[in-house]
Amino acid sequence: MRNTKPGHARPAQDRQTRPNQRVLLPALRKLRLALVGFAAMLLLGGTLGTAKAQDENPKVSFYLTYDPKGTKPKEDLQLRPNVEQEVFVFVENTGDKDASVTLQLVAGMKAEASQVVMAPKGKKVPVTFAPAKDEVKGPALKELRGGVYFRLMDAAGKMAIGDPSPVIVADPFTYLEPSATYTPETDEKNPGTFKVSIAPRQVYGGPPCQISLDLRPERLPGLVIGQKQIGTHMAYMGARIPGVSGDDVSAQLEARELRLEGGEAVRGFAYLTVDGYRRAFAFYFTPPASGSRSTPKLIDGPVLRTDLPDAVRPTNKMNVTIESDGVISAEDRVKLGILSGTKLDKVTNKEVEVYSDIAEFRGPRQIVNRFAVGGAQGGILFHPEAKDHVRTVDLSGVTGRQKFRLRLLDKDGKVKNVRNGVTGKENVKEVIQTVILDDSPPEGLKLIPRADALTRAGR
């Protein structure tokens, strides 16, 4: 993360581009621009009331890096979700005079950490924060509320120098690049194989990424229930930090002897989980004709659905988990609605359904960021936590069929096209899920002894 104007993109030559990124990169660039723009909006509340230094230290700036030695990354540093990572801050003075400045980490309008730094002319220096008081337990993480950013101030902490830099929690889509192939089974001796290769897309730090396959019969109809997992369904992939680790990091996952029933009629989703970030990547699975190899489509557009089953017992505290996946901006809003009735459309003269929105969520996940000063090597520890949005709904007085609706809106309130995460259909304005609510007890149940149990009993 460099000391650049919030909301402004980096020059194109700073971005690393791979030949097979032509489809994904436009969407990712839009996502990153939106993320930075959203963070910049959050900054306004904390910077409008701060005076700006009048070119007293015009050549003093700062940057963030994962390298304790201070290698400056080519890309803006963004945090990984669900892992603890140590970030190092360096102040760089390219002027011809020594400068005394203050670096602050701000959340909302409160400076959560502050450190005075003497920056000699023509040099870069690390910003070293106080070590942890408890060397056994380490520093205690504290939750950050509101827009989070770093800023540079004068030595007295009164006047701002340059522009602030927002702390952004990245979607795994931003820093990892997966690709997949599928070869269906031809006979019992040649079962199906699903392979995924993952490469780094940009700089990321922290511990190695834990990446795993998520194959479920309810999301991939035709996947034979109860089959044994064979192959490499989980792997670790090392961090990519310039000056610390090279670019040659990758991981491969493979589900061997994969049995699917239904042939060419099979349609569904296969997912990757990254560091506990479920459905970080979604592939739309369309098995080809027997024996031919295919490339499952990596979904780079927004996907919406809930985790509700087809039938459930209604309660007064029913949790509805929102699965908002693919490339979704931090500025986008997901709205959850419930069917409340019908009305007559005066144009078509037909009854149309009416939904009431009961919840609204911003961005693809709920993010809680925590930090602590005094990392093992003198940096700042960050541990962002990303979870699915959840709404608790009272449906204790409802039985029968009930419909839920999901829509994705941009920052201006315009409904965006999404892929239906239930059916796989693309470019829809809304996702409707029908759930049967039934609170009646089971009927006609009886115990049937197992054959092996009867044999052991001597019957």
pLDDT at 201: 86
**Pair 152, 89: CB distance under 8 Å:** no
pLDDT at 72: 86
Please give the Cα distance from 296 to 360 (Å, whole number): 32
Three-state DSSP class for residue 217: coil
Domains delineated in the chain: 12-166 (no CATH), 173-295 (2.60.40), 304-326+329-362+398-437 (2.60.40)
Residues of the chain with pLDDT under 70: 1-58, 130-138, 241-248, 263-265, 287-291, 444-459
pLDDT at 378: 86
Alpha carbon dihedral 335, 278, 295, 178, in 10-degree steps, equals 110
175-190 residue pLDDT tens: 999 999 988 877 777 7
pLDDT at 453: 45
187 contact partners, CB below 8 Å, separation of at least 6:
none
pLDDT at 246: 57
11-44 residue pLDDT tens: 333 333 333 443 444 444 444 444 434 344 444 4
214 contact partners, CB below 8 Å, separation of at least 6:
270, 271, 272, 273, 278, 279
pLDDT at 243: 55
pLDDT at 454: 42
pLDDT at 269: 94
pLDDT at 77: 84
Please give the Cα distance from 275 to 251 (Å, whole number): 14
